[in-house]
Amino acid sequence: MRRVRPVLRGSRSASPRPEQTSSRPDPGLCPSRVWGERNRPLREPPRWAGPFRKTGPLPLLLAELPADRRPEDPLSSSSSFLLPPLLRREALPKDRKMEESVNQMQPLNEKQIANSEGGYVWQVTDMNRLHRFLCFGSEGGTYYIKEQKLGLENAEALIRLIEDGRGCEVIQEIKSFSQEGRTAKQEPTLFALAICSQCSDISTKQAAFKAVPEVCRIPTHLFTFIQFKKDLKESMKCGMWGRALRKAVADWYNEKGGMALALAVTKYKQRNGWSHKDLLRLSHLKPSSEGLAIVTKYITKGWKEVHEMYKEKALSVEAEKLLKYLEAVEKVKRTKDELEVIHLIEEHRLVREHLLTNHLKSREVWKALLQEMPLTALLRNLGKMTANSVLEPGNSEVSLVCEKLCNEKLLKKARIHPFHVLIALETYKTGHGLRGKLKWRPDEEILQALDAAFYKTFKTVEPTGKRFLLAIDVSGSMNQRVLGSVLNASTVAAAMCMVVTRTEKDSSIVAFSDEMVPCPVTTDMTLQQVLLAMSQIPAGGTDCSLPMIWAQKTNTAADVFIVFTDNETFAGSVHPAVALREYRKNMDIPAKLIVCGMTSSGFTIADPDDRGMLDMCGFDTGALDVIRSFTLDMI
């Protein structure tokens, strides 16, 4: 049955689109790696394919069919009927020239594949897809691709990299994204690490376990990693609690100091169905120091037994300090005295997770917590502290918050991703939470500090001095929420444009869908103004060739085009790559194209055979460095 594309609200009348046999994937077709009969109904997708769902356990990897049932070359013309339309390539007529100006619903050459809208684009490399996955995950899917299928496709790309002997390179990328704070959520990196640790390649597996302490920095990360491994166990047909995992978990605990471990285990007691008690039992941990022995005894036996065991013993200074800390953690749970709670917070640096719900009703308790509050917790609790009058215009607490938010060293140390700041800004400026009845009046000083913090979370680079044209895709598919948040892809793209314009002064911003759209974003706007302006743009179709065509028609000189898009282009009469080559020829400018992908799908409009085109992840904190290097021919 022919599927009819819905007309998006606010869009212009869709231009006539040629009939085609392989436009978008029918939901009843097999995903890309399952070889089956043509139009064979798909069995229920594996539960794991969307590894970041809020309900249900993570996945089972899709088992492939036996080798004798797979075509030798799945993309060859002789076997393309076995593929779903999404990856089926139409054979080019022999008399068609490769660079003939064809519309986007027809392939430009034999290397192109159909995207979710039936428009022809290129497939990103598996490594680029890994980068997108680490940045965006698969939570919520995309406008066209469901979360389960998107997670499956990304995992398959990762497995192909391992099979190609690039497993250790994958581990390095995972470590880089995690340690440098280049990913907004840790789940994608933990999931990728879990797959690497379960694979059959020995060197990849060893590198994965060695990376556990560097990627799993807090207990939440460790618990999530263990859960991912449990969910992958059946599908990857391998054990779980072998010697390698037991050693990795034991090393995670033993490499921490006594006080650091005491804070970790009392702040994060259990997550995802796992507790410290479970991990100590399964890893057969042998404490490597007196401090660790005290903490492990506290985890397994409780405070009362620890107190009895050590009250008569001669202890080191460190051990005494550790016991006093654990005593304070236990004492604060039993007291209702506000002054005593504040005293314990100030003396032992207790955090919000150590307190009872009733303690958090006190304004003075919040003031005490604020003094040493970690930045991640600070961003989450700005609304709460404004609502209960801890943060009032002009008071010392507001000054402290602004000072912390504008401290670049603190932001880097806490690995605050710009996405965290954007979410905090969007939530705080609305004056109310997404759930509940909490309301507040936003403080202007804090809004300005959040604006400044956003830019400080990116790596600063020297400007290139080149002319930049930044183009934001504002089509209907860019309304997809990013990482399951309140922000859509086009808004995040606009914020990224502001980052580039702060560095490259000779920049201009345009917007497009299936036509050029008046762009409400200017280089002198604050982020708050950008978020408001982007929310008012109507949606349309997608034609990613428009920025180059518009620049040529208006005689606009640009050395670099940066297009922020989900690559679901289909509405144009010419391919974006051809439009760029025409621009170069007619304007006599060796212009470059940088495609910033805003979802974790596997498509790109950048021609991989053209050295003047680059595909990259659109929300990487290292984006400016990549843009600069490519612009100056350093990569």
pLDDT value of position 489 = 83
Number of other CB atoms surrounding residue 222 within 10 Å: 26
Answer yes or no: is pLDDT of 62 > 80: no
| Among the listed residues 182, 192, 187, 179, the one whose alpha carbon sits nearest the alpha carbon of residue 271 | 187
pLDDT value of position 484 = 66
In 3-state terms the chain splits into helix, strand, coil percentages (rounded to 5) of 45, 5, 45
Answer yes or no: is pLDDT of 596 > 50: yes
Interval 235-245 mean pLDDT: 80
- From residue 223, how far is each of 139, 228, 229, 294, 300 by CA, in Å? 19, 9, 10, 22, 17
Cα dihedral 552, 556, 561, 565, rounded to 10, equals -70
Sheet arrangement for strand 113-114: 113-114, 120-123, 603-604
Answer yes or no: is pLDDT of 470 > 70: yes
Answer yes or no: is pLDDT of 38 > 60: no
Beta-strand relationship, 120-123 and 603-604: antiparallel
Residue 567 — pLDDT band, cuts 50, 70, 90?
A: confident
How many Å apart are CA 352 and CA 366, to the nearest integer? 9
- From residue 412, how far is each of 37, 117, 377, 454, 622 by CA, in Å? 52, 40, 15, 12, 13
Answer yes or no: is pLDDT of 617 > 80: no
Asked whether 631 and 560 are in contact (CB, 8 A), the reply is: yes
Beta-strand relationship, 560-565 and 120-123: unpaired
Cα dihedral 335, 340, 346, 349, rounded to 10, equals -10
By three-state DSSP, how is residue 552 classified?
helix
- From residue 555, how far is each of 62, 227, 533, 561, 588 by CA, in Å? 51, 56, 27, 14, 11
Q: Cβ contacts of residue 230 below 8 Å, gap of 6+?
A: 57, 240
pLDDT digits (tens, 9 = 90+) for 90-129: 444 443 443 455 777 888 778 888 877 778 888 888 888 8
- From residue 383, how far is each of 8, 139, 170, 358, 573 by CA, in Å? 34, 25, 39, 18, 48
Rounded to 5 degrees, φ, ψ at 446 are -70, -40
- From residue 29, how far is each of 22, 147, 252 by CA, in Å? 12, 16, 44
**N- to C-terminal Cα distance for the chain?**
47
Average pLDDT across the chain, whole number: 80
Residue that is written with structure tokens 């679901």 in the block: 568
How many Å apart are CA 114 and CA 569, to the nearest integer? 10
Q: Which two tokens stand for residue 539?
A: 């949606």
